[in-house]
Chain A
């Protein structure tokens, strides 16, 4: 009996099952390699897109002296100083910050609504916001339907967010 990559192999006893086992391991290893390479490339481009690039260069410039290259935001004859080359993030866009922070506040309100509803259900279901909405004299069938759809869609979306956001397996 001989061991090949953790497999105990007997001479003349390599049958379909054992070859299938090796084929399966090869498939899994290729998938893991493909997945982890794509994770690395994604992260690499994420970093590349979020840093300032003070120097204009092309691939042919890589062998040249750094002092012969020019800064992206200045005149051609200006000398490159080392503090210009420090790794710095790009400035954040204020409009983007405003939109995302507003969305974050909406999500916080949503979180409080779900948590308060779930907590109130344990003690007294009549004190939930959902119950107040359903029994209110202003509510209509359409508004209750829309509220239910939004509530369920929000819970589903939060669960999907967990599934797509968790990258524990990718970074093992």
Chain B
């Protein structure tokens, strides 16, 4: 039973920290083959682990200063306990933030939700900000396409051609407004049916 608990406990910690971090980076990284993706993610994770190790080292030094550890085992136990306490404090802080907002905001939201006048005023007050964010993201998206195309036009060689081919094949011909993704006409795609309405 103790062994099972050990497996569940450490499995949970390792899955939640290292494996999740690995997958998160693996699926979002821009490298072109599984090997280079794994290599890039492992380097990133090693850097993160190094920072964690330095922090753990600093914590060990602090524990050594404040706790009179007579032998190596009692020092290990002190560091182990301190790590557990700190991870619990971190978990509790996240829970308090998430729970606190939900506890207060949920009754207020439910109370106001069926009031159409409140909903309309609330939506109208956010409309300008949301629309501006959407138009800005559209311009930024066209800028990224422009960067991709400029880079390909000026720096494609026999050595990197296959990477550029993959990159260019992933750029859709039209954006979501139905406008052509042309870097030289990038800001003309600003007028759309939804936007105008």
Shortest Cβ gap from A69 to chain B (Å):
17
Interface flags for B34-52 (1: CB within 8 Å of A; 0: not) read 0010001000000000000
Q: Determine the interface band of chain B, counting residues with CB < 8 A from chain A.
A: 35 or more
Binding site for B on A (CB under 8 A): 2, 4-5, 7, 9, 11-12, 14-17, 19-30, 32-37, 39-41, 43-44, 46-47, 50-51, 87, 89-93, 96-97, 99-101, 103-105, 107-108, 110-111, 114-115, 155, 157-163, 165-166, 170-172
Q: Across the interface, which residues of B come within 8 angstroms of A155, CB to CB? A: 95, 99
- Decide if B110 touches A16 in the complex (CB within 8 Å): no
B23 interfacial by beta-carbon distance below 8 Å: no
- Residue of B115, B133, B171, B194 near A26 (CB, 8 A) is B171
Q: Are B137 and A47 in contact (CB under 8 A)?
A: no
B78 at the interface (CB under 8 A from A): no
B24 to chain A, nearest CB (A): 13
Is B148 on the interface with A (CB-CB < 8 A)?
yes
Q: B150: nearest residue on chain A (CB-CB)? A: A4
A40 touches B131 (CB 8 A): yes
Q: Does B1 contact A (CB under 8 A)?
A: no
B167 to A33, Cβ gap below 8 A? no
Q: A43-B127, A111-B103 are contacts. A29–B137 as well, Cβ < 8 Å?
A: yes
Cα–Cα, bound, A108→B159 (Å): 65
A25 contacts B31, C-beta separation under 8 Å? no
The answer to whether A162 and B99 touch across the interface, beta carbons within 8 angstroms, is: yes
Which A-B residue pairs are the 6 nearest by beta carbons? A158-B102, A24-B30, A23-B30, A5-B147, A20-B30, A104-B110
Residue numbers in B under 8 Å from A170 (CB-CB): 130, 133
18 additional A-B pairs beyond A19-B151, A25-B147, beta carbons within 8 Å, are A19-B160, A22-B144, A22-B147, A23-B30, A24-B28, A33-B176, A37-B138, A44-B197, A89-B117, A90-B116, A97-B115, A107-B106, A107-B107, A111-B106, A159-B102, A161-B106, A165-B102, A165-B109
B176:A47 contact, CB within 8 angstroms: no
**What's the Cα separation between A73 and B143 when bound, in Å?**
48
A34 in contact with B176 given A20-B29, A20-B40, A21-B30 (CB within 8 Å): yes
Q: Which of B95, B110, B115, B194 contacts A107 (CB 8 A)?
A: B110
Q: A22-B147, A104-B111, A107-B106 are in contact. Are A33 and B116 (CB under 8 A)?
A: no
Interface string of B92-119 (1 = CB under 8 A from A): 0001011101111111111101111101
